[in-house]
């Protein structure tokens, strides 16, 4: 009997699953469907480089539609609005109902701007990243920008907007009371703080909030501001809460090292929407990317009626390369750090190689 495998979300891990199905075929006897709202995945790592004029706007796109076509996967351009894990049924935003035997979820998280900052027409959430790029591209030159969020995304966006191609902005970075780049080594934090100071980006180690229409860093007003960019991490999508799936304290889908739900073994999840039950793992693109091949192997096993046995064991340290927008970049690898134009060249090489790999698989290179 034909089994339906539903990929919900065209995120970084599912791109690896599509690649596996192109190379080795969709698991035999399975009908595969990809449910995702856009025909492309935008690779967030290249967005700061686009803002700074180092990449074209479409350089960082993975063609999901072409990958799905090559893999023999049906594409449903719609979004998951509800999932009933027990009944094995997804309801989409357009009201379609999709039944599945096995599902895998890689939709990323949702923005937290409204919850953490409050409503303001100047606020632009970096999530979803595609919507962020569209909104920023439509904006004219911005004289003064506030970036809220002191993680790697916020830092890179502050540098990028300071060096925005043809329209450099006066930028303030509100890193939060937790400090600049929490979880990174002191040497990396020092290098980033020095680069911010060198470029005239004001750093505020307080929480950002909007009070009476004014953007504040703690008690300090940062008015006037033309735009407020929110890079405040991600929240779990609301539809996960009503799915019946086991979740962590923040509402993200609980998974083991095999990327499988402990409550519903016919459901897998990876990337920012998932949370490991056996260890703490930051929500970051590298983990979505590296979990992809594990997910692909375990989906193949599950569809063949075998016990999924592959596990994702993150590396002890991961390489993070932060673009400083001025022709240089800062590298972080555990306790080690480095900086220079060569780091930016390395970043561009890694990013472009990743995009080129999928363009070749999709036949669009
Ligand atoms: C500016 C910036 C720079 C960053 N740079 C880095 C970096 O250099 N390195 C790094 O490791 N991390 C980086 N990150 C973090 C990284 O972007 C995320 O951790 C990563 O994108 C998560 O991948 P994912 O597969 O979980 O989801 P995503 O990449 O968010 O993909 C989710 C997919 O699911 C689709 N989707 C969304 N909702 C639904 C729905 N309801 N139904 C169906 N489909 C849906 C989306 O359209 C998209 O195709 C950066 C983040 C930002 C903001």
* Burial group, residue 211, by CB count within 10 angstroms (0-12, 13-18, 19+): exposed
How close is the Cα of 211 to the center of ligand 1, in Å? 30
How close is the Cα of 205 to the center of ligand 1, in Å? 26
- For domain 3-37+78-110+234-303, say whether CATH 2.40.50.100 is its number: no
Question: Per residue of the chain (365 residues), what is the pLDDT tens digit?
Answer: 799 999 999 999 999 999 999 999 999 889 999 999 999 999 999 999 999 999 999 999 999 999 999 999 999 999 999 999 999 999 999 999 999 999 999 999 999 998 899 889 999 999 999 999 999 999 989 999 999 999 999 999 999 999 999 999 999 999 999 999 999 999 999 999 999 999 999 999 999 999 999 999 999 999 999 999 999 999 999 999 999 999 999 999 999 999 999 999 999 999 999 999 999 998 989 999 999 999 999 999 999 999 999 999 999 899 999 999 999 999 999 999 999 999 999 999 999 999 999 999 999 88
Q: Which two tokens stand for residue 43?
A: 């690779």
20 lines ligand 1 (CB under 6 A): no
- Closest CA to ligand 1's atom 11: 285
Q: Which two tokens stand for residue 283?
A: 């929500």
Q: Please choose from 45, 281, 291 the residue to mutate so as to test ligand 1's pocket, defined by most ligand atoms within 8 A of CB.
A: 45
12 lines ligand 1 (CB under 6 A): yes
233 lines ligand 1 (CB under 6 A): no
Q: Where are the alpha helices (DSSP H) in 54-107?
A: 64-71
Cβ contacts of residue 212 below 8 Å, gap of 6+?
none
The atom of ligand 1 lying closest to the CA of 156 is 1
Is this prediction's pTM over 0.85?
Answer: yes
3-state secondary structure of 191: helix
Rg of the chain on CA atoms, in Å: 21
Q: Which two tokens stand for residue 23?
A: 């190379």
Q: Domain boundaries in the chain? A: 3-37+78-110+234-303, 113-233
Superfamily of domain 113-233: FAD/NAD(P)-binding domain (3.50.50.60)
Say if 3-37+78-110+234-303 and 113-233 have the same CATH topology: yes
3-state secondary structure of 64: helix
- Beta strands, E only, 190-318: 202-204, 208-211, 214-217, 220-221, 227-230, 253-255, 267-269, 274-276
332 with 322: CB under 8 angstroms?
A: yes
272 lines ligand 1 (CB under 6 A): yes
Chain center to CA of 139: 23
């Amino acid at each position: 009997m034909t089994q339906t495998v539903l990929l919900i979300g065209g995120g970084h891990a599912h791109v690896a699953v599509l690649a596996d199905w192109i190379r080795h075929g969709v698991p035999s006897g399975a009908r595969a469907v990809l449910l995702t709202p856009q025909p492309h995945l935008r690779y967030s790592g290249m967005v700061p480089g686009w803002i700074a004029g180092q990449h074209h706007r479409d350089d960082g796109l993975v063609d999901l539609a072409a990958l799905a076509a090559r893999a023999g996967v049906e594409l449903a351009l719609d979004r998951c609005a509800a999932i009933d894990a027990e009944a094995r049924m997804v309801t989409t935003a357009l009201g379609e109902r999709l039944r599945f035997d096995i599902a895998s979820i890689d939709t990323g998280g949702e923005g937290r701007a409204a919850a953490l900052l409050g409503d303001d027409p100047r606020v632009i959430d970096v999530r979803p990243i595609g919507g962020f790029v569209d909104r920023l591209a439509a904006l004219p030159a911005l004289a003064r920008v506030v970036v809220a969020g002191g993680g790697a995304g916020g830092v890179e966006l502050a540098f990028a907007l300071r060096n925005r191609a043809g329209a450099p902005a006066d930028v303030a970075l509100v890193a939060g009371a937790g400090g600049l780049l929490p979880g990174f080594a002191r040497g990396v934090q020092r290098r980033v703080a020095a680069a911010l100071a060198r470029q005239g980006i004001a750093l505020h180690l307080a929480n950002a909030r909007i009070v009476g229409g004014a953007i504040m860093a703690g008690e300090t007003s940062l008015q006037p501001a033309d735009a407020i960019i929110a890079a405040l991490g991600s929240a779990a999508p609301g539809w996960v809460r009503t799915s019946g799936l086991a979740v962590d304290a923040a509402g993200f889908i609980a998974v083991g090292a095999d990327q499988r739900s402990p409550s519903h073994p016919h459901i897998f999840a990876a990337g920012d929407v998932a949370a490991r039950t056996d260890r703490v793992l930051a929500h970051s693109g590298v983990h979505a990317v590296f979990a992809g091949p594990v997910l692909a192997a375990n989906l193949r096993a599950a569809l063949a009626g075998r016990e999924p046995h592959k596990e994702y064991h993150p590396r002890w340290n991961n390489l993070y390369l932060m673009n400083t927008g001025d022709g240089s970049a800062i590298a972080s690898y555990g306790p080690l750090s480095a900086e220079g134009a060569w780091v930016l060249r390395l970043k561009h090489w890694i990013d472009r190689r990743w995009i080129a790999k999928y363009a070749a698989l999709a036949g669009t290179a």
